[in-house]
Structure 1
Amino acid sequence: MSSTPVVRPSYAAVLRIPHARRTFGAALLGRLSYGVAPLSVMLAVTRSSGSYAVAGVVMALFSGASVFLSPARAALIDRYGPRRALVPMVGAHTSLLALLAALVWRPGAVTPLVLGAVAVAAGAGTPPLGPTMRAVWGRLAPERALLQRAYSLDAVAEELLFVSGPLLVGVLVGFAPPAAGVLAGAALMVLGTAGFVSSPAVRDVPPARREKERGTGGRRVLSGIRRPVIAAAGVGLALGVVDLLVVAFAEGHGPGSGGAAWVLAALSAGSAVGGLVNGAVAWKASTGVRLSAQAAGLGLALCGAGLAQGLGTLAVAVAAVGLFVSPLITTAYLVADETAAPEARVRAGAWVNTAVNAGGTAGAAAAGVLVGRLPAGVCFALTGAAMVLTAAAVVRRERGTGSPVPLV
């Protein structure tokens, strides 16, 4: 009697998939640029212009163009395939980063208007390596349990990149001008993308069939991603608020103590642990149910953080908040992947990613209005209430029953 070997869905099994380590490692190297280039741009423009206001505007233009044009760039990946779309995209993006580095190398060399224009162009071409890698994971790990672990590993690794990127910049500017960090970000993107597109796993990805040949439109192939996008925007909003609230809380409990850094580190640590645990568990509930449950859990944890009386208790409470962050984002990507058409996988992931970033921007703005007007505990509670409402928004009740079901 013959039997088919069963692959145990574990993190080790994910990395044993043919070409997975090479493809994932190259994508991470390129994505490290996301943590290096933006901070380097801000530091370099500050040094060149001598103005924090100019640096803030240039940074907003760079980040805004990068975030909000991500779905459009992802559409090019879906339509033409990763190799045909990423190579020219990376060439344009890194060339503009190099130009920006040259412009800010000497203080006062160019006007803020020129810096802003180049920053917008550079940000507009930022390659969507994250959404593309997640689409490739869908091909490498078609079994859902294995894909869940792949996405969890991807989410945790990406979070670590955004922590290590600024640390790398901090080391670099200790012996080189900040503009060198911009060049380092460009180099990371070139090297990572070159390794990524040369991987057999990426070379085999065909361009999608044109939507008009399928008799469908953009709305059709992306139908069903409303729920994960709403959930992602909610978690982004929460993170944007929490970052500023933690800084304000720490300042109120000992200015200059550096307590905010430790509390935010606890948030990242909690998110990493939550992501790894979420990926390791063989969930029986559907991804739609988990999406709403994790959003509700995040909301309740935020309300609990509002009860903290000191930095120590806040760090513990924020670590508990983090336990839901990476799992919620991972589940949002899974739901988007399940509900979008195969030829729109990169776009679906890009919309989730854009929602997280857009939510973060809105959250930071909301926190700026609330902090100073309301106690920190009330701000945490309001943010938690917003997440509970988000949880309610991503489920509906099945007709004829009282049980909530996912909107798939």
Structure 2
Amino acid sequence: MPENHPATVTDKRPGYGQLLRTRGAWTFLLPGFAARQPFAMLTLSTVLLVQHTTGSYGTAGAVSATTGVSMALFAPFTGKLADRFGQRAVLIPGVLLHTASVLALTLLALSGAPLWTLFVAAVPTGASTPQIGPMVRARWGVKLHGSPLMTTAAAFESVTDEFTFVLGPLFATALCTGVHPAAGLITEASLTLAGGLLFAAQRSTQPQPSRSTNDVHARVEHDSALRVPGVRVLIAAFLGIGAVFGGMQVSLAAFTESIGEPGLNGVLYGTFAAGNMLSGIVCGAVAWKIAPQRRLLLAYTALALTASGLWAAQSVLLLAGLGLLVGTCIAPALITGYTLVDRLVPSTARTEAFTWLTGAVALGQAAAVTVAGQLEDRLWDGAGFLVPMGGTVLALLVVAALRSRLVPPRVTKVVTRGAAHREPVAIGEM
């Protein structure tokens, strides 16, 4: 049996230990972790730097949102190119462009350049953000194709994403408030450069470029990720998750500044992200008997309910507790969404599908940062917390109305019953 197909899977629900013993996994996991860490630092570092130089959360949110929108628009294109030409061919020039763009944005902000130049620099900064998470997921697909460990891998990657959102905001806040307002972006660029190049160097684990195959059917399937109805539903759902991330970042920063304790921003956001990470660990270890589309609906119901109380919190302890609950509800939605992609999308289009979801989170985050910043500037302290509530409620309505599109397609086989009976008979589901 090939090494990519573990032969010792005997448990009903394989665990994380068995997953991490997959041969060659650590060669892309470690550099991948370093390269994806900056993703959680970029938005908040931009907000803190631009707010420092302009004095406006609304302006800072708009510049940061530009990076998010650019990333959301270009991420699927990047994923498609990676599927077609290989991850290394796309990642190396992308990492170099991203590093240069971040440094340019930092210098422009510090030099008091016209505001329009910040927006111009923010476009390539976001567009060139390396899509490490989807690329790692695609590499797991190569290593574990056909293995029960694929579900565990989806949970593990979601937990890893959440862990970056625990460390990233803490790093960004500590660097921007304790070292220099530009230290967050400079560190983000450095980590992206080093981690991205190391990840790109791991050529043996990257998926085979689809241009090298002569399978016409596979190439047609490769172009069809967005044509899958369930993917479009998941994109709308993940916009709501992005609204939580973006709204929390701006609103927590504004709240801690209003009480004269800006250093608490990283602690509060870290608490929110810690709840996300811990619930993700639990979700990945549970042998779920509930259908994934129903799990997604339940997860969004809980997320909308908890996010609806944020705007009323007036104390640090209450806000920390609510943030922890909101974070706890996000991971089940993320993990279930990524699991559904594995069931709904052909293997030749999964990297692109994953980048659509990543882009949706970024787009939702960008919109939330912009709206929350305006609300904080124009209304009362804490008004930005209305954004996570609105985003999750809208996402819940979409999932509830279109949950039937999240059901995996039915698989049929032709069974011959004799010379006179050759009609197709459905004998199972995917």
Q: How many residues get paired? A: 392
Report the Cα offset of residue 172 of structure 1: 4.2
Q: What CA distance in whole angstroms lies between the structure 2 residues aligned with 1:119 and 1:65?
A: 8
Is the Cα–Cα contact under 8 Å of residues 241 and 361 in structure 2 kept in the other structure? yes
Is the Cα–Cα contact under 8 Å of residues 292 and 394 in structure 1 kept in the other structure? no
Q: 2:400 maps to which residue?
A: 392
Q: 2:159 maps to which residue?
A: 156
Q: Residues 165-180 of structure 1: matches in 2 within 5 Å?
A: 165-173=168-176, 177-179=180-182
Which of 216, 219, 222 aligns to 2:220? It is 216
Q: 1:406 maps to which residue?
A: 407
Output the amino acid matched with 1:348: A
Output the amino acid matched with 1:272: M
Q: What CA distance in whole angstroms lies between the structure 1 residues aligned with 2:65 and 2:225?
A: 31
1:309-331 Cα shifts (integer Å, max 9, x gaps):
96545544443332220121121
Is the Cα–Cα contact under 8 Å of residues 270 and 322 in structure 1 kept in the other structure? yes
Is the Cα–Cα contact under 8 Å of residues 337 and 349 in structure 1 kept in the other structure? no
Q: Aligned with 2:189: secondary structure?
A: helix
Which of 346, 349, 352 aligns to 2:351? It is 346
Is the Cα–Cα contact under 8 Å of residues 65 and 370 in structure 2 kept in the other structure? no
Q: 1:13 maps to which residue?
A: 18
Q: Residues 194-209 of structure 1: matches in 2 within 5 Å?
A: 194-203=197-206, 205-209=207-211
Which of 208, 219, 236 aligns to 2:242? It is 236
Report the Cα offset of residue 164 of structure 1: 2.1
1:41-76 Cα shifts (integer Å, max 9, x gaps):
4555566x6564765544333332123221111111
Report the Cα offset of residue 286 of structure 1: 3.2
Report which stretch shifted further, 359-368 or 152-161: 359-368
Q: 2:98 maps to which residue?
A: 93
Structure 2 residue 68 is the aligned partner of structure 1 residue 60? no
Report the Cα offset of residue 378 of structure 1: 9.1
Q: Aligned with 2:70: secondary structure?
A: helix
Q: What CA distance in whole angstroms lies between the structure 2 residues aligned with 1:15 and 1:112?
A: 47
Output the amino acid matched with 1:168: F
Q: Residues 7-406 of structure 1: matches in 2 within 5 Å?
A: 8=11, 9-44=14-49, 52=56, 55-101=60-106, 103=108, 107-108=111-112, 110-142=113-145, 145-173=148-176, 177-179=180-182, 181-203=184-206, 205-209=207-211, 213-214=216-217, 216=220, 220-222=224-226, 223=228, 224-241=230-247, 255-256=259-260, 264-302=269-307, 312-313=317-318, 315-364=320-369, 385-396=393-404, 406=407
Output the amino acid matched with 1:152: A
Q: Aligned with 1:225: secondary structure?
A: helix
Q: What CA distance in whole angstroms lies between the structure 2 residues aligned with 1:137 and 1:294?
A: 25
Output the amino acid matched with 1:231: A
Q: Aligned with 2:277: secondary structure?
A: helix
Report the Cα offset of residue 234 of structure 1: 2.6
Q: What CA distance in whole angstroms lies between the structure 2 residues aligned with 1:74 and 1:267?
A: 29
Output the amino acid matched with 2:242: G
Is the Cα–Cα contact under 8 Å of residues 83 and 202 in structure 1 kept in the other structure? no
Q: What CA distance in whole angstroms lies between the structure 1 residues aligned with 2:370 and 2:105?
A: 28
Residue ranges of structure 2 left out of the alignment (5+ in a row) = 1-6, 410-430
Q: Aligned with 1:395: secondary structure?
A: helix
Q: 2:417 maps to which residue?
A: none
Cα distance change on mapping 1:144 and 1:383 into 2, 3 Å = farther
- Percentage of identical aligned residues: 28
Report the Cα offset of residue 230 of structure 1: 2.5
Is the Cα–Cα contact under 8 Å of residues 90 and 189 in structure 1 kept in the other structure? yes
Q: Normalising to structure 2: TM-score of the pair?
A: 0.75
Output the amino acid matched with 1:133: V
Cα distance change on mapping 1:359 and 1:211 into 2, 3 Å = farther
Q: What CA distance in whole angstroms lies between the structure 2 residues aligned with 1:324 and 1:406?
A: 22
Q: What CA distance in whole angstroms lies between the structure 2 residues aligned with 1:270 and 1:76?
A: 35
Q: What CA distance in whole angstroms lies between the structure 1 residues aligned with 2:225 and 2:89?
A: 21
Output the amino acid matched with 1:132: M
Q: Normalising to structure 1: TM-score of the pair?
A: 0.79
